[in-house]
Amino acid sequence: MAISRRERVRAWFAAELRPDGDGRDGLGKVLLASLRASGYGAVGAGFGILALYTIPILLLAGFLSLLGLGRVLVAPSMQWVRLLAGLERRRLHRLGHEIESPYAGPDADPPASLGELRADPSARRDLLWVFLHGTWGLIIGATLLQMPFISVRDVTYPLWWTFVPDSEQQILNGLIETNSQSTAVLGFATGIAVFVLWLLFGPKLLDLQARPGVHLLGPDPDIDLSERVARLTATRAAALDAHAVELRRIERALHDGAQNRIVAVAVLVGAAKREIPRDPDRAVDILGRAQDTVEDALAELRAVVRSILPPVLEDRGLAGALNALASDCPVPCTVDVDVPGRCPASVEATAYFVVAESLTNVAKHSRAAGASVEVRRRGNTLTVTVADDGRGGADAGAGSGLAGITRRVEALDGTATVTSPPGGPTEIRVELPCGS
């Protein structure tokens, strides 16, 4: 059975404005979404004005460079373009779009000539975004900003139209002149129509405004792929290295600890067997020593197992495990964990290892009076920060435990930063991807 156009429109309105499962008013949600769209659209319009004024500057710099007179203008112009693109990335991030910077680093030099500009795909994409956002983005942002004001003005227009000069007796932002009562009443209808259009299409217009930035301000697809391959190659090497180091650590712990104690138990039991016929009391003493040695071996085995994947993580979660580490640290330590839910087991184990190794270094080398551990999860990134007020001077390249932290973090495609100037303080900051 065919559905008429009127029935389709009625079903659309019902779907947009019905209350949701939590009992909240659907119209209120749509209104908040449209207000949010107008707010972010207005910010985007502000960036659009800056982009619009940037366009003639870029054209002038390019023209003078072609004449050989404006080469010195290229670098500062592109630095400004990067700054403007960075502001747009921050706005897109707040809108839920994760846009990575395509530059090699925060201090990467912008192109200094037209030749370098042509060879830099990221710079070309930034320029294309400036032209699009200075025109298309500005128009959409201005529309989003004006729609709620137009609707309020036109709805109330029949009440005050007689008090304004003849030149201002108009509705729909000056598109329709209204100089009589009958035409003034039309403002009420146009105001309602604009309000409904704003409710239904405000967020969609914001998406259209953001689309050029989403597609252009990230890394170039080809470059991103090659960098990703290189990054995965380095990560795989770091993972294999960390695995080999961990195996050597476990082998040393078993060989130097538990294995030696078990050998000692075998020797003591043999000595006890020989002493039983001659001196039973001495045999009992030897068996007591063997029992103590077995208990020590079991304790070392438990320590080795816990270092592989600490059971406290499974039992008490990351926050409980880190608080247990801090309570065992001889240096007074505060712990602040803000991690909603659970992270993957490998991420939690690495975070635990980072904090355990860092606190061990604090206790052994820092001469600190206090330390702090802060763990935050924002989106799909877990950030671990361990700081102390000690003497500083920690060097990750000197073969210390910091090198082990770096290897273990890189194995998960994370980053580790050590800041430890002479005289302190020391801060170890680790970022781990933890997307589910």
Q: Are 178 and 187 in contact (CB under 8 A)?
A: yes
Query: What SS3 class is residue 21?
Result: coil
Domain residue spans of the chain = 24-216, 222-307, 316-433
pLDDT of residue 19: 46
Pairing of strands 170-171, 176-177: antiparallel
Asked: is 316-433 a CATH 3.30.565.10 domain? The reply is: yes
pLDDT value of residue 49: 93
Of 142, 195, 180, 145, nearest to 170 by C-alpha is 180
**Residue carrying the six token digits 């009440």:** 159
Q: What is the pLDDT of residue 22?
A: 44
Strand order of the sheet with strand 333-338?
Answer: 333-338, 371-378, 381-388, 426-433, 415-419
140-167: string of b/e by CB count within 10 Å (b at 16+)? bbbbbbbbbebbebbbebbeebeeeeee
The predicted pLDDT at position 272 comes to 80
From the first residue on, what is the mean pLDDT of each consecutive set of 10 residues in the chain (436 residues)?
56 50 61 88 92 91 81 86 91 86 64 80 89 91 88 77 66 68 73 85 90 85 58 60 62 70 80 81 81 78 64 77 85 88 82 86 84 87 88 68 78 82 86 75
Distance between CA atoms of residues 171 and 173, nearest Å: 5
pLDDT of residue 311: 67
Tell me the two tokens of residue 323: 């608080």
Contact 41, 133 (CB under 8 A): no
The answer to whether 367 touches 390, Cβ cutoff 8 Å, is yes
